[in-house]
Structures are given as C-alpha cells and as structure tokens.
Amino acid sequence: MRCILSVCLALCLVSVCTNVNSQARDDRPDTGAPGSLAESLERVSVDSPNGKNSVEVFVENGRLYYSISRAGVPVISQSRLGLRFLGRHGLDSHMGITGYSRTSHRSEWETVWGERRTVSDHHNQLHVTIYSRSAKAAFSLRFRAFDDGVGFRYEIPAQDGSPDVAIMDELTEFNVGVKTESWWIPSRMFNRYEYLYNNTPADAIHQAHTPATFRNGDGVHFSIHEAALINYSGMSLKQTRPGVLEAELAPRSDGTRVRLSGELKTPWRTIHIADKAVGLVNSDLVLNLNEPNKLGDVSWFEPGKYAGIWWDMHVLNRTWGQVQGNVTTAHGATTDYAKKYIDFAAENGFVGVLVEGWNTGWDNDWFSNGDVFSFTESYDDFDLVELARYARERGTRLIGHHETSGSITNYENQLEDALDLYEQNGVRLVKTGYVADDGNIKRIDHDGIARYEYHDGQHQIDHHMKVVRRAAEHGIAINPHEPVKATGLRRTYPNWVSREGARGQEFNAWGVPPNGPDHVPNLVFTRMLSGPMDYTAGAFNLRPSEQPEAVAGLGRHDTRSRIEHTLAKELALYVVIYSPIQMVIDSPEEYAGRPDAFQFIRDVPTDWEHSLALQGEVGEFVVIARKDRNSADWYAGAVTDEQARAIKLDLSFLDEGQYEAQIYCDGAQADYETAPYDILIKRQNVTRADTLNYNLGRSGGFAIRFKKL
C-alpha cells in the first residue's frame, strides 16, 4: 500500500508538468533489473488530453496487467499483458515496472487522399519499462491515450546471443465483460473476412476478427482492432474465459505465430472509444498510430470511380475464361467488349476500367488453378496494348487485375514482369485477388515444399507489403480482394488504396443469403473503422438473377441472390462506404435506363476535404456528410436496415451561403422487398440554417448533393 501511495504521489507531481518525466529505479547496472520486486513501481497511468480516457498499467503477483476506463467507468477491465516464445522464457511472470515516462503530443498532418484533408494527432503517451526476472529481460510498453481511444504496443530490444525470436503466444487480453453487446464476424473460417455480422452478448463470441465493436450498458461504444500490422501476424480475439478475449495470432505453417530477428515492435493494439456509435466512425486513431508517408509524391494515383467487365461474370452474363471442359463459354474480356466499357467510362469521367479474365489461366476451375495463371499473357481475343492506348486516348485508363487464387509463389515469380507490363501501358491501379480458403495461401518454400498459410498470417502480410512496395516503384496503386485486414498502412504506403476484406456486393449476385438490409449499417461501425473498402456499389438492376439467362447454358443464380436495398440506398453507398476508388458495377444499358438516378453517381466524388458521421446506431442506420476535396460541394448519404425510419437532417454542417440540394431519396412506397425502385429525385435551395426531413423505406436510404451556388 505504501508503495502505491508513493507512486500516486509521484504521478500527481508528474501530471503537473507535461513533458518527459522518468522515474528511474534503483537498477542494477548490468541488467537493468530492479533490486527487488517489492521496490517496483506497481501502478502507473495516463489520461487522454480531455481527461476522459484513462489507462492504468500495473503488476500483481509478478504478472503485468492494464485496464482502460472512460469517465471512471471501465471499458477494458483488468487484462493481462505478455508474450511467450519458442525456446526461451516468456515475458509472462516475475515482472516489475522499472520506470516510466510521459509525454504529450499535438500535431496536424495532411492526408494524400482520404476522408479528410487534415488529421489532428493529439495524445498523451506513457512509456513503461519492465523487467522480467524469470526471462532476465527488459522490455517496454508504449501506450497512447487519445480522446477517441487508446493504442499500445510492446517494444522488445534484440536479445544478445540469439536475435531470432519465435512468438508462440501473445497473452494480451481484452476483458470486455460478459454481457457487453457485441458485433463481430468469426475468424479462422474458410471465408476469411466475408461473413455476416453477429450481434450477441460478448460471451457468445468464440473467435472474432477485428475490428469487433462493443456497446456497454451505459451506452459507451468501443471497438478493438490493431494498427500498423507489419512483420507480424494478424490478431483475432479468442474467448478464453467468459467476457475475456485474448489476442490470438494467426499461426504460421511451421506452428509458430511470428518469427523475426532483432528488435520487436508489435502492431498497436487499438481500442476506439466513443460516447455514441458515430464517434467511432469519426475517429482517426488507427491512422494516427501509423508512420507517415514513406513514398513521397504519389500524385500519379488518381482517386475516382471505375467501371468494369466484372459484374457480368458474377451474375452469369459472361465468363472469366474461354472454355469450360470442352465447351466454349462467353468470355467477357474481349477487345470489343472492353472498348464499350472504355467509351462508357470516358463519357462519364471515370478514372478507369477494370477487366477481369484478360490473362490466361481462367479456363475451367480457376478457384483451384492458381499455379497456371500467367500475369503477362493475354487471351487471344484481348489486345491489352491496344486497349490501354484506346483508353488513354479517351482520358481514362485500363485497371489491371491479378487473381492469384492464393498461389503467391506463382505470382511473386512473375511480379516484376507483370508490373512492368502494366507500367509500360499506363496502368496505374491493379486489383489483386487471393481466392482460397483461409489457411490455404500456397507458397513454395526454399526446399520446394508447398506450405499453406492464413490470409492474415505473417507470410501473407509480408507478401502484401512486397507487392505494395514493388508496385509503388512502378507508379501503381493496389486494391487487394481476399486481403489481410486494413490497419492504417495507407498512411505510410498511400498506394495501398483500398481492399475488400468483408462481404461485398458480389454476395448479392450469388450468395444465399445475400448481404441483407443490416449489412451496410453493420459494416460502417465495424469493418469500416479499419479503412477503405472496395464494396463495389451501384447496382441498378436489383434483381439480376430474375433476368432470363444471357447466354444459353450459363444459367442464373438462385433468385434469392439479389440486392436487398432500395435504389436510393444503393446510391447512398457512395457516401456512406468510404474508398478513394469506387466501382460503378452495372452495365451501360442499366444506367442508360435511369439517367436521372445515374446523375448522382456521375457527380459524387471519392476524395474528401472533410467527413462527418452525424447520426446512427450499429447495424441499424447511419447518416454521413462529406465535403468534396476539389469543390465547395457537400454530399450526404443515409442508409437504414429493414426498419423504415424518419431522418431529420440538420444542415448546420454546411458552410455559409446558398446550396442547391439535389436529392435522391426513397419514394413514399419505397421498400426493398415490394418497391425497391421507388425513388424521388428533386431539387431545392437550402442553407445551413435549414433542416430536411426524409422517410426512409425498409432497407432504404437517401443520397444528396449540396451544390454550392
């Protein structure tokens, strides 16, 4: 007790002065070990700049713990910290705090592209040094307390003797409480991150991906995730005791979790915290915990919308390959068909046209065919060089596609040539793909043996980094599907522009069940906290599986596969789901049939000066406003779940002056099941003093452009 009191006294003194403060202990000069654990500091803490979020780090019985509270109410109760290794003592027992320092930081930095131009990084940092007598090793923990959450990581210096480390277990816990409400998807299941969200008490989680989002009884929302996932394995959350989630690192094929050499800095473990659900969405926590831009000028990457030969394959109008068995199929990636899409993109000011199935290797079962993909050889009916020229001449570009089906050695062996080919042809954005069950990323090791890795395992994280860095050297941006989750690395590598990493639109083409009315309101408060998503919006035919078959023999999917949105909700996705590249998925004919509604897609930008989540509840609804980075216009989007909902939109987010509101909202009958196409399109002049009222239909929405007059 005496010890705790003296520490408190020390902390009070420390908090008066805001600069670096250290409490050096009576350390032995050779090891840095405290003379005895009884002399250790036992409890140190740090508060966020506004004093609301508090972190405590403490030792009990030689074990290290932390806890986080908001306004004095626990968010993460007493939770263990530590790591275990192969062949050496873990940092898990006989530990003592040997010192600490606290610093304050306040800065602003500019994004290259993003939800907002200027990001503010304001936090208080606590750096705690620890010694483990059993491991005879010193290490430290760095905590950063922001007003919108907390991040912390382990920092372990290279050990003398053997600098190689193999982590077997990260002991970090998140004690969220048993009955805390949670929204989560399962991890380590075949479909990677592509699941519908579960909404359960926390003790029903078995193992979840992050971000996983929670709401306490007092209404505080928080979400657990990680930042700067590099040179490590992805963290899932595994329930070890009721209400206690432990960091579960994706295993490597050799049975360890992480292998590295030299100094170890783990990714940041992050906890977004907000009084309301929208506060989670308005946070820049994950970006602030990443390193600044390492690529310098990436102005060659142009945010924007893109069309593509893509939806046609998902709804069975066309095929990726040329043959299936002995039968010739309806190949989508032909020169003529691509020209039609290039014309369409050029007419509408889109930055590019994605063409999938252009390269050899897609015939027959491409899911299991990863080893035969060529990334430089086109099918004979696709003239890449001519199409790239044709597109550039019209002011747009081809967008590249590299589906690997999870065979990453085959891809890496061709990577340089593949990027060269695209660079020479003016391709500046490449979509990659890793269609393979989780745990089935195939790599060939140095001995020629096939090893199988997880999509968020260390090998695959290294692979993504290799592709992103090499692509940057060629002036190419990357958009992976079946990716590893986003952890804010877009700040450091701003050519890593988007990714899938959730159930996207494709499930509405062939999924039973499709994504469902609550999926987007779930995504916004979970998946979207990690970073941009290539959701692939803009379906104008909401029931594609009910059409007669396009090509004899290709058939149609189950008619339950459909877009369970109203048309206005589909438009709202361009505002509500952030990505600097947004697909416009449907055919030119579908858009030609609804030019009035299509106008919103033509107008909406994909790069923002500022973004504000205004209202919403997890899985129920959300209203987001964003200001265009390149004009004085604002945009707003709203989506609701299967509940019809009245939304009052207070326009005080607008700047001074007059705007013309160009409104695309659900009509009076709109309902995703009975009248999905009922949309009301109108114009009205407004100022920031006005309030607009809308009734959203079931699974409906609105999309509004506020054009500055």
Least CB distance from residue 313 to ligand NOJ, whole Å?
A: 6
Is 225 among the residues that bind ligand NOJ (CB under 6 A)?
Answer: no
Rule CB under 6 A: choose which of 10, 435, 632, 680 binds ligand NOJ.
Answer: 435
C-beta of 357 vs 517, nearer to ligand NOJ: 357
Residue 433 interacts, among Ca ion, ligand NOJ, none and using kind-specific CB cut-offs from 5 to 8 Å, with ligand NOJ
C-beta of 221 vs 481, nearer to Ca ion: 481
Sign for the CA dihedral angle at 198, 201, 206, 208 comes to positive
289, 295, 236: which is closest to 265 by C-alpha? Answer: 289
Rule CB under 6 A: choose which of 481, 527, 626, 707 binds ligand NOJ.
Answer: 481
Cis amide leading into 211 (omega within 30): yes
Residue 310 interacts, among ligand NOJ, Ca ion, none and using kind-specific CB cut-offs from 5 to 8 Å, with ligand NOJ
Q: Report the relative pairing of strands 73-81 and 581-583 from DSSP bridges.
A: unpaired
Rule CB under 6 A: choose which of 248, 363, 456, 500 binds ligand NOJ.
Answer: 500
Residue 453 interacts, among Ca ion, ligand NOJ, none and using kind-specific CB cut-offs from 5 to 8 Å, with none
Rule CB under 6 A: choose which of 251, 279, 433, 619 binds ligand NOJ.
Answer: 433
C-beta of 272 vs 481, nearer to Ca ion: 481
Q: By rule CB under 6 A, what string of x and - marks binding of each residue 401-430 to ligand NOJ? A: --x---------------------------
C-beta of 268 vs 373, nearer to ligand NOJ: 373
Record the tokens describing residue 439, joined without a space. Answer: 């745990």
Q: By rule CB under 5 A, what string of x and - marks binding of each residue 470-509 to Ca ion? A: -----------x----------------------------
Least CB distance from residue 140 to ligand NOJ, whole Å?
A: 40
Give Cβ neighbours of residue 255 (< 8 Å, ≥ 6 apart).
Answer: none
C-beta of 481 vs 491, nearer to ligand NOJ: 481
* Plot region of 6 (φ>0 → left; ψ -120 to 50 → alpha; else → beta): alpha
Which residues, numbered 632-691, are part of the site for ligand NOJ (CB under 6 A)? none
Q: Active site includes 506?
A: yes
Q: Where are the beta strands (DSSP E) in 486-606?
A: 581-583
Residue 246 interacts, among ligand NOJ, Ca ion, none and using kind-specific CB cut-offs from 5 to 8 Å, with none
Q: What does the alpha-carbon distance between residue 700 and residue 614 come to, in Å, rounded to a whole number?
A: 17
Q: By rule CB under 6 A, what string of x and - marks binding of each residue 344-363 to ligand NOJ? A: ------------x-------
C-beta of 455 vs 463, nearer to Ca ion: 455
Q: For the chain, what is the radius of gyration of the CA atoms?
A: 26
Catalytic one among 500, 506, 570, 609? 506
The DSSP secondary structure of 56-102, one letter per residue, reads EEEEETTEEEEEEEETTEEEEEEEEE-EEESSS--BSSSEEEEEEEE
Record the tokens describing residue 345, joined without a space. Answer: 């993109």
Is 516 among the residues that bind ligand NOJ (CB under 6 A)?
Answer: no
Least CB distance from residue 434 to ligand NOJ, whole Å?
A: 8
Helix (H) or strand (E) holding 696: strand 691-696
Give first-to-last CA distance, the chain, whole Å.
67
C-beta of 404 vs 640, nearer to Ca ion: 404
Is 483 among the residues that bind ligand NOJ (CB under 6 A)?
Answer: no
Is 455 among the residues that bind ligand NOJ (CB under 6 A)?
Answer: no
Least CB distance from residue 482 to Ca ion, whole Å?
A: 5
Q: What does the alpha-carbon distance between residue 529 and residue 515 come to, in Å, rounded to a whole number?
A: 19
Record the tokens describing residue 628, joined without a space. Answer: 């265009």
Is 312 among the residues that bind ligand NOJ (CB under 6 A)?
Answer: no
Residue 653 burial class via C-beta count within 10 angstroms: exposed 0-12, middle 13-18, buried 19 and up: middle
Helix/strand/coil percent split, the chain, to 5? 20, 35, 45
Residue 403 interacts, among ligand NOJ, Ca ion, none and using kind-specific CB cut-offs from 5 to 8 Å, with ligand NOJ
Q: How many residues bind ligand NOJ (CB under 6 A)?
A: 8
Least CB distance from residue 673 to ligand NOJ, whole Å?
A: 26
Q: Where are the beta strands (DSSP E) in 358-449?
A: 397-403, 429-433, 441-444
Helix pair 408-424, 458-473: axis angle to 10 deg: 10
Record the tokens describing residue 269, joined without a space. Answer: 């473990």
Contact between 200 and 185 (Cβ < 8 Å): no
Is 170 among the residues that bind ligand NOJ (CB under 6 A)?
Answer: no
Record the tokens describing residue 81, joined without a space. Answer: 């910290």
Contact between 141 and 96 (Cβ < 8 Å): no
643, 653, 635: which is closest to 578 by C-alpha? Answer: 635
Residue 226 interacts, among Ca ion, ligand NOJ, none and using kind-specific CB cut-offs from 5 to 8 Å, with none
Binding stretches for Ca ion (CB under 5 A): 481
Could you list the active site residues?
A: 506
Which residues of this protein are in contact with ligand NOJ, per CB under 6 A?
A: 310, 356, 403, 433, 435, 481, 500, 506
